[in-house]
Chain A
């Protein structure tokens, strides 16, 4: 079974703080993703990585950065947290098939971040 874990289920931070969200997968997947999920807006891609030290911006990268120093770990960083970054953050990973088709993404349990 694929296992994707996230460092915290709930997190409360103050405006202006630097926030680190960690994600670890144990299936040697190539691709890792960070999403945020908000009511009425669905899942939106923040960043993704298809290899160690490689990253690409998703649809809403502003205010976020990422780090992938090891294959199994993908970190999301909020440099200076703001109240509009209060959300559910979901990490996902996928195998990274070299075919014309996209493979399944497996999600971690999510981190509900509140910025006060």
Chain B
């Protein structure tokens, strides 16, 4: 079992819809969770971090964390074509100091 798992996609949503991206992780003791966006040929850029159970909102983005079920999700409201990218989930697995373990990413396509 991979330590951080994401569906590779592509996830296709129409412009204006809500995109829902999911990530599961193996270590129940994990404390820190991050979502990065990566455009083709570019490096990852941070969208949001989340540390506590529940929802965290930033503009059109909402991160949701459920430690009991070991998943973290990212919702993108009013999806735009510019949101088309690969979204990487990253988790600081317990006992790994400052290291992050990344999922392989979900490719999102927002269609006109």
Q: Which of A's residues lie within 8 Å of B, judged by CB?
A: 31, 33, 40-43, 45, 48, 50, 58, 90, 94, 96, 100-110
A-B contact count (CB 8 A): 53
Which residue from A50, A58, A101, A104 sits with its C-beta under 8 Å from B46?
A104
4 additional A-B pairs beyond A42-B104, A102-B100, A109-B43, beta carbons within 8 Å, are A42-B102, A104-B34, A107-B43, A110-B43
Roughly how many angstroms separate A90 CA and B98 CA in the complex, as a whole number?
Answer: 17
For the complex formed, measure the closest distance between the CB of A92 and the CB atoms of chain B, giving whole angstroms. Answer: 8
Assess whether B34 is in contact with A41, with CB atoms less than 8 Å apart: no
B31 at the interface (CB under 8 A from A): yes
- Check B68 for interface membership: any CB of A closer than 8 A: no
Residues of B within 8 A of A102 (CB): 31-32, 92, 97-100
Q: Which residue of B lies closest to A112 (CB)?
A: B41
Chain A residue with Cβ nearest B48: A104
Evaluate whether A101 and B32 lie within 8 angstroms (CB atoms) in the complex, with A107-B43, A108-B43 already known: yes
Residues of A contacting B60 in the complex (Cβ-Cβ under 8 angstroms): none
Knowing A106-B46, A109-B43, A110-B43, the reply to whether A40 touches B104 (Cβ < 8 A) is: yes
| Residue among B42, B45, B102 with the highest chain A CB neighbour number at 10 A | B102
Give the number of residues in B that approach A within 8 Å (Cβ atoms): 21
Determine chain B's interface SS by DSSP, over half rule. Answer: loop
Q: Are A103 and B42 in contact (CB under 8 A)?
A: no
Interface of A is mostly: loop
Q: How far is the CA of A43 from the CA of B98 in the complex (A)?
A: 15
A31 shortest CB reach to chain B, Å: 5
> Across the interface, which residues of A come within 8 angstroms of B104, CB to CB?
40-42
A101: chain B residues within 8 A (beta carbon)? 31-32, 51, 92
**Identity of the chain B residue whose Cβ is nearest the Cβ of A44 in the assembled complex:** B102
